[in-house]
Amino acid sequence: MLNIGGLHEGVVIDHIKAGGAMQIYHYLNLEKIDSSVAIIKNAKSNKMGKKDIIKIEGPITVDLDLLAVLDDDITLNYIENDVIVKKRHPNLPETVTNIIKCKNPRCVTSSSSERGLAHTFKLTDRKHRIYRCIYCEQKFKGQL
């Protein structure tokens, strides 16, 4: 059995869809932080069959609610003094900027003259997790 040590202080991102941890790792830019990060892929799960887990040692200053755009089933476990002090399920934000990239080649965000324009999406269907580009209405259905 695989054994990854516990955290004294930090965040555990649990119940990530199997295979999705690396996308979250890159989105959070975890390669740039100075803390220890453990990625557990394809862990056995009674609830999900298989899942990924990310453990981040120490405090993290990222809006983790934005992770709901990538995977709305995740659980955030906040650890202090070796104990889970808070469990959260992130909520889908109404708007997201520079998380989703617009795939429409005709969108103003794809134009060479508009480089640097923020990719902004608005939540249009909460039940189905659908976001639309505010410039061209291109649809994005959140999923890993």
Q: What are the chain's domains?
A: 9-88 (3.30.70.140), 95-141 (2.30.30.20)
Percent of the chain with pLDDT over 70: 90
Q: Say how many residues make up the chain.
A: 144
Q: What is the mean pLDDT of residues 64-76?
A: 83
Residue 103: φ, ψ to 5°: -90, -5
Q: What is the mean pLDDT of residues 39-64?
A: 88
pLDDT at 2: 46
The model's pTM? 0.78
Q: Tell me the pLDDT band of 5, cut-offs 50, 70 and 90.
A: low
* Closest to 97 measured CA to CA, from 63, 127, 72, 73: 63
Q: How far apart are CA 54 and CA 50, in angstroms?
A: 14
pLDDT at 121: 94
pLDDT at 69 over 70: yes
pLDDT at 142: 64
pLDDT at 114 over 70: no
Kindly report, residue by residue over 8-33, the tens digit of the pLDDT. 899 999 999 999 999 889 888 888 88
Q: What is the mean pLDDT of residues 32-41?
A: 90
pLDDT at 28: 85
pLDDT at 144 over 70: no
Q: How far apart are CA 29 and CA 89, in angstroms?
A: 21
pLDDT at 47: 85
pLDDT at 6 over 90: no
